[in-house]
């Protein structure tokens, strides 16, 4: 875990380096990563400016990490005002580090014609369908070709960046802070958490992701319809907010599914420690936060095999084909009927998580990239 007393990285002082981190609205994966990265960079003497929405600043506390924050505008005329804020934040910076495709698009627009180097961290690959299937490859090429270094969160994203024409693409696994609670809640606290969710005498399943189409909620609710036949039927708790909330709630009500929408929660680790099984139906993040939190917390995980999930979890989770509601329902049902298998997966998950890069490893890799770019400009 990063502390403000960490020694300066390497032999060279970083007190004069100014790095701008563009995260925008953040997300379950990018927000915690940028917060962690900002804290580590500041602790090593780097001046950090984070460009984010006011909501992202409230959620992730970039200021508390020691960074300056340039707040993006919301409401009408947002795009022009966003570019103005970005230009002001990037003026005089030594480098700009964009996190995610939208941030990358904004950064390459603002930096066009400047010598300021751009680092782009590719966290996630969106679904390619409809108009996006034609537009996204063009935008991805623009971003990676304008970046001095692309850091891919999975080998698939690194390969994609190289295919799109990146001049320098590297694997950069992203560490997020481990849960700041015991590996397991004591039984009394666990039962209290379950009671608050309405799962005292029934199994508790948990998922957490934005309520958006790419996160597989159609197949997840299809699976929940099959779980109704179990005795007792498990309760599926969904943590997250998004544009699909109303339509999901309507389907839950109409089909009387054993599902509860929790809204956005900041106690994911505690919820996972209370759950019997964690479910990840279709996150397109290369290193989805739920998967990382589940393995840290010792929650057995059933996940759709998309992007870098298999690379992340190894054999410490049950993987099923993406979009296959039947396979998802069956995998969860098998786990619920086998306490021994759940215990084995919990132990394997903790061992897998122990081998992941630490926050310090992540900061050290990023600083090494920054040093290369700073040397090239001297």
Boundaries of every domain in the chain:
18-175+357-377, 187-354
Per-residue model confidence as pLDDT tens digits over 310-362: 889 999 999 999 899 999 999 999 999 999 999 999 999 999 999 998 999 99
Cα separation, 326 vs 19, whole angstroms = 47
Residue 304: Cβ-neighbour burial (10 angstroms; 0-12, 13-18, 19+): buried
Instruction: Please tell me whether residue 44 adopts helix, strand or coil conformation.
Output: coil
Q: Topology of domain 187-354, per CATH?
A: Rossmann fold (3.40.50)
Cα separation, 153 vs 123, whole angstroms = 5
CB 277 within 8 A of CB 253: no
Residues 6+ away with beta carbon under 8 Å from 280: 207, 209, 288, 290, 291, 294, 301, 302, 303, 304, 309
Cα separation, 278 vs 281, whole angstroms = 10
Cα separation, 309 vs 301, whole angstroms = 11
pLDDT of the residue at 131: 62
Low-confidence ranges of the chain (pLDDT < 50): 1-13, 183
* Residue closest to 14 by CA, chosen among 49, 51, 42: 42
* Residue closest to 237 by CA, chosen among 268, 206, 278, 213: 206
Please confirm whether the linkage preceding 189 is cis (ω < 30° from 0).
Answer: no
User: Strands, E, within 29-72: which ranges?
Assistant: 47-52, 68-71
pLDDT of the residue at 7: 37
* Residue 146, token pair as written in the block: 């304008």
Element at 145 (helix H, strand E): helix 130-146
18-175+357-377 matches 187-354 in fold: yes
Cα separation, 242 vs 220, whole angstroms = 16
pLDDT of the residue at 3: 38
pLDDT of the residue at 221: 97
Instruction: Please tell me whether residue 290 adopts helix, strand or coil conformation.
Output: helix
pTM of the model: 0.83
* Residue 15, token pair as written in the block: 């007190």
Architecture of the 18-175+357-377 domain: 3-Layer(aba) Sandwich (3.40)
pLDDT of the residue at 4: 37
pLDDT of the residue at 77: 61
pLDDT of the residue at 70: 96
CB 225 within 8 A of CB 282: no
| DSSP per-residue string spanning 342-372 | HHHHHHHHHHHHHTSPPHHHHHHHHHHHHHH
* Residue 186, token pair as written in the block: 């004591």
Q: Is the dihedral of CA 116, 102, 175, 68 positive or negative?
A: positive
pLDDT of the residue at 333: 97
Instruction: Please tell me whether residue 97 adopts helix, strand or coil conformation.
Output: strand
């Amino acid at each position: 875990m990063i502390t403000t007393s960490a020694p300066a990285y390497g032999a060279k002082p970083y007190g004069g380096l100014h790095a701008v981190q563009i995260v925008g609205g953040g997300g379950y994966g990018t927000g915690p990563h940028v917060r962690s990265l900002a804290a580590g960079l500041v602790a090593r003497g780097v001046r950090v400016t984070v460009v984010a929405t006011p909501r992202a600043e409230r959620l992730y506390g970039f200021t508390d990490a020691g960074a300056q924050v340039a707040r993006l505008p919301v409401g009408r005329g947002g795009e022009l005002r966003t570019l103005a804020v970005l230009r002001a934040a990037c003026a005089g910076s030594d480098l700009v580090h964009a996190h995610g495709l939208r941030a990358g698009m904004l950064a390459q627009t603002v930096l066009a014609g400047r010598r300021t180097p751009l680092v782009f961290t590719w966290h996630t690959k969106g679904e390619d369908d409809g108009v996006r299937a034609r537009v996204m490859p063009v935008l991805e090429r623009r971003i990676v070709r304008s970046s001095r270094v692309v850091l891919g969160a999975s080998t698939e994203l690194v390969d994609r960046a190289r295919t799109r024409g990146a001049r320098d693409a590297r694997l950069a696994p992203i560490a997020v802070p481990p849960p700041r609670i015991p590996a397991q809640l004591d039984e009394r606290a666990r039962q209290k958490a379950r009671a608050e969710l309405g799962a005292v005498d029934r199994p508790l399943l948990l998922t957490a992701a934005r309520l958006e189409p790419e996160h597989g909620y159609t197949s997840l609710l299809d699976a929940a319809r099959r779980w109704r036949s179990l005795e007792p039927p498990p309760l599926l708790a969904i943590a997250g907010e998004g544009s699909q909330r109303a339509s999901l709630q309507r389907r839950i009500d109409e089909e009387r599914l054993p599902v509860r929408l929790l809204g956005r929660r900041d106690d994911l680790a505690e919820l996972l420690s209370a759950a019997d099984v964690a479910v990840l139906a279709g996150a397109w993040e290369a290193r989805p936060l739920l998967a990382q939190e589940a393995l840290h917390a010792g929650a057995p995980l059933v996940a759709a095999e998309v992007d870098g999930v298999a690379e992340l979890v190894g054999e410490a989770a049950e993987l099923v084909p993406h979009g296959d509601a039947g396979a998802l329902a069956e995998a969860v049902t098998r786990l619920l009927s086998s306490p021994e298998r759940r215990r084995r997966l919990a132990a394997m998950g903790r061992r897998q998580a122990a081998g992941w890069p630490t926050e310090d490893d992540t900061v050290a890799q990023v600083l090494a990239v920054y040093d290369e770019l700073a040397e090239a400009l001297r």
